[in-house]
Structure 1
């Protein structure tokens, strides 16, 4: 008895589309960060604090470290934001960083990607490529089974 109508072909299609959606999401994140690095306003910022997030019991990696960065925008506002995967070793609290941000929405569109901190570009690139290749392979398998 097959769990899904169509059996293996349906599984390949659904899982390929699922992984493809995550690849597209990572690609959008990558494009946003690259656009900020190339065209955003640049200011000196700092790592304002490091906090540990408890993701609940039963998780393999229960605790996750999150870095909060702060900078002063061109309009004088003090802005704080978190960035994904700042680098392999993280930042010390108070460490200076170069921030690239969009003046239209600095709290939502800011990154520390750039010289000395390529994590926010490297991680989405890896996810986009790996998930995209797996998705492409699964969808190719689906096409090969159906036709």
Structure 2
């Protein structure tokens, strides 16, 4: 069975602005970074606020004036190269979460082609960039998106 295409229809300007803030610059795979780069490049170029630094990863965060938040963990391998990115996005409600999810889905579909569904994830696979796992999180207490990039 084919995966239905999700379109980012009727998106509020605030959600589009938040999406652009998370993705930009669009000059590379994600936020200007490619998997395989030296992680010291992230530490000098990432514009979000550093909130966590460990031996194998660094974490950056951004919060909107509406208290929506994105946390990004950049993981490095033993050669100090980026091998995985994990993104958690926390939204205020199901509607805005759905709008943002639609934008990410459309963005990844354009870049990587039609995804395969695996459990609750949409999995986009690209020979050039690796795997992108996109998950829409909806529960009675939490609304958001989880994205993982890996080779």
Instruction: Establish whether TM, by shorter chain, passes 0.5.
Output: no
Query: Looking at both structures, which has the greater relative contact order when contacts are Cα pairs under 8 Å and sequence separation is at least 6?
Result: 1
More strand by share: 2
Structure richer in helix, relative to its length: 1
Larger Rg: 1
